[in-house]
Amino acid sequence: MNQAPTLETLWDSAPASSGAFDPAVYAHLPEPARRYLNHAMAPGTPLASAVRLRMHGEFRRGGWAPFTAEQVIRCDGEMLWRASMRLGGLPVSGFDALLHGEGRMQWRLFGLIPLVFAEGPDVTRSAVGRVEGESLWLPSLLCTQGVTWAAPDPEHIRVGLNLLGEPADLTLGLTDGGAVRSVSYERWGNPEGGAFHYGGFGGWAEEERTFGGYTIPTRLRIGWHFGTDRFESEGEFFRVTIDHAEFR
């Protein structure tokens, strides 16, 4: 990944959708899992291989900084998030990516001065965990082979993923209608700035919208230490609103 990746390349190279969502295929799953899938995808909706998102929100790095971004997520794990924000009043732009099985972060001040550059096994492992959590924006990824489902109670489901060799066990809190209200799981990262380790990660979904047969969370508060008192005080770092989603 020597050259800066582009959203267009990742989006245009995504395979065409294969098949359509059929609730009968998932009739054997626990009721809360069926409730979620039937809420997230209308019957007959093409099982998309990718989603392209436009979003805005706030990112916490010291204080809260506004950002705008575009993102492509694919069912094969490829992901690119390109954003622009202002830190300390200064313009910063760059990307987080998971491409060809490798994670990478690259951010520049004024688009020229290197500010952050990170890659390597730990960055890759964390990026895979990010894509697994953001599968809520591409529900067809949860219809791929190898995904497991369990329902500890009527209000929660556990979704087991193993993307690029990195396992994740997402716990989704659901409304009576099947909408996602929370997500939590163990993600590889270093929120304290030291050695990488698994830590509690997740957040609250506060709104949703429907795009092309998919109903996805569109306003979320995300961060580390979810489910503890530390989430509000130090863990939450990402507040996002999805403005548009396109599936293919």
CATH code of 194's domain: 2.50.20
74 DSSP assignment? E
Q: How far apart are CA 233 and CA 88, in angstroms?
A: 20
End-to-end CA distance of the chain: 24
Report the DSSP pairing between strands 236-247 and 214-224: antiparallel
Looking at the 3D structure of the chain, how many domains does it have? 1
Note the pLDDT of residue 92: 97
> Which residues span the domain enclosing 118?
32-247
Note the pLDDT of residue 61: 86
Does residue 171 belong to any structural domain of this protein? yes
Does residue 23 belong to any structural domain of this protein? no
Query: pTM score > 0.95 for this model?
Result: yes
Does residue 18 belong to any structural domain of this protein? no
Q: How far apart are CA 231 and CA 100, in angstroms?
A: 32
User: For every one of its 248 residues, what pLDDT tens digit does the chain have, with 9 covering 90 and above?
Assistant: 456 789 999 999 999 998 999 999 999 999 999 999 999 999 999 999 999 999 999 999 889 999 999 999 999 999 999 999 999 899 999 999 999 999 999 999 999 999 999 999 999 999 999 999 999 999 999 999 999 999 999 999 999 999 999 999 999 999 999 999 999 999 999 999 999 999 999 999 999 999 999 999 999 999 999 999 999 999 999 999 999 999 99
Closest Cα partner for 209 from 241, 182, 240?
241
Report the DSSP pairing between strands 63-74 and 50-61: antiparallel
What is the gyration radius of the CA atoms in the chain, in angstroms?
Answer: 17
Does residue 90 belong to any structural domain of this protein? yes
Task: Please state, as a whole number, how many other Cβ atoms lie within 10 Å of the Cβ of residue 208.
Answer: 19
Does residue 127 belong to any structural domain of this protein? yes
Does residue 241 belong to any structural domain of this protein? yes
Does residue 6 belong to any structural domain of this protein? no
Does residue 182 belong to any structural domain of this protein? yes
